[in-house]
Amino acid sequence: MRRPALYSSASPAKARKPALPDEAEQALAAADGPPRLQNPTYLARLTRYFSPGNPNLLWSVIALLALLLAVSFALALRPAQRQLTQDDINAAVLKTLETTTLPSAATRAYDAVSPSVVRVVSFSKDKDGQDSERGVGTGVVIVDKGIILTNLHVVQGADSIRVTFADGLESSASITGVQIENDLAVLQAQKIPDDLIAATMRSTVDLATGDQVVAVGYPFGIGPSASAGIVSGLKRVFRSPDGAQPVRNLIQFDAAANPGNSGGPLVNMDGEVLGIVTAIYNPNQQRTFVGIGFAVPIENAATAAGMPPF
């Protein structure tokens, strides 16, 4: 077994005084008797060495002057560093934009919200007492302790609910609140990821027809999937084909949505949640998207979780 290196704790040796040239050193070594500065022989030899006629001293001075001249010449030739201007910075930015492919606005929106999107599956007991899948929907985390918004129709009447987070963690969940008039339910997950991220919510006060939006969810259980579109209208009213009470003050949008998108977030280009996807218009029985979807504004959805409006 190798031992780690050991380091001495002794103080470093005292620095030696610089040696004099050989001839001077010989002069010092040859001196005997009284202290060197009082020794006539020593003084005579030292004086002879530093005499202007000594060729060794002359060459030493020449070498020193040559070194100083070379250093001065090198410093004089070094180009001065040019200070960056705003034009230089603008040119560098333009060059980067020309040579780099930036992600689309929809990609940035999806990347911002996707860590907060969950898959919601509801189960009921079959005749043998086994869990049987009733349906798949979507939810979005609005508080990082595992509070999730989804549609009431996704989980209503379920014997059990299971959610899957963006990192793959699965957990059972329970309903902690409902808002029947807006088809909303609030879930609490029993287990959550250590680094769970809650989505950012954005007021719809300044939302306008034509604004770009992205819907994120699990259409037909496939996902997470994203679709992009625009706000087609505001303050819409929708009544489901089964004759339930109408849902009012809805955001109409044309980003593709299908069964399974229910409960998912409708976000702006910053990935901020504007509403919860709640329904699609189906003039036929095929349950496919025909270009009209509806979302509950986040102001209404937040109140379902007991959160103050904007």
Nearest to 113 by CA among 264, 281, 303: 264
Q: Is 88 a catalytic residue?
A: no
Catalytic residue among 114, 225, 227, 262: 262
162, 125 in Cβ contact below 8 A?
A: no
* Inter-CA distances, 232 with 34, 93, 254, 255, 266, Å: 109, 36, 6, 9, 13
Q: How many residues does the chain have?
A: 310
Nearest to 260 by CA among 127, 121, 72: 121
Q: Is 153 a catalytic residue?
A: yes
Q: Is 262 a catalytic residue?
A: yes
The SS3 assignment for 122 reads: strand
Does the CA dihedral 247-251-257-262 come out positive or negative?
negative
231, 213 in Cβ contact below 8 A?
A: yes
135, 155 in Cβ contact below 8 A?
A: no
Between CA 116 and CA 225 the distance in angstroms is: 13
Cis before residue 224, ω within 30 degrees of 0?
Answer: yes
282, 238 in Cβ contact below 8 A?
A: no
Catalytic residue among 116, 122, 153, 227: 153
Tokens of 166: 């963006």
Counting beta carbons within 10 angstroms of the beta carbon of residue 177, is it exposed (0 to 12), middle (13 to 18) or buried (19 or more)? middle
Catalytic residue among 116, 122, 171, 183: 183
In sequence order, the β-bridge partners of residue 147 are 143, 188
230, 213 in Cβ contact below 8 A?
A: yes
Question: Which residues form the catalytic set?
Answer: 153, 183, 262
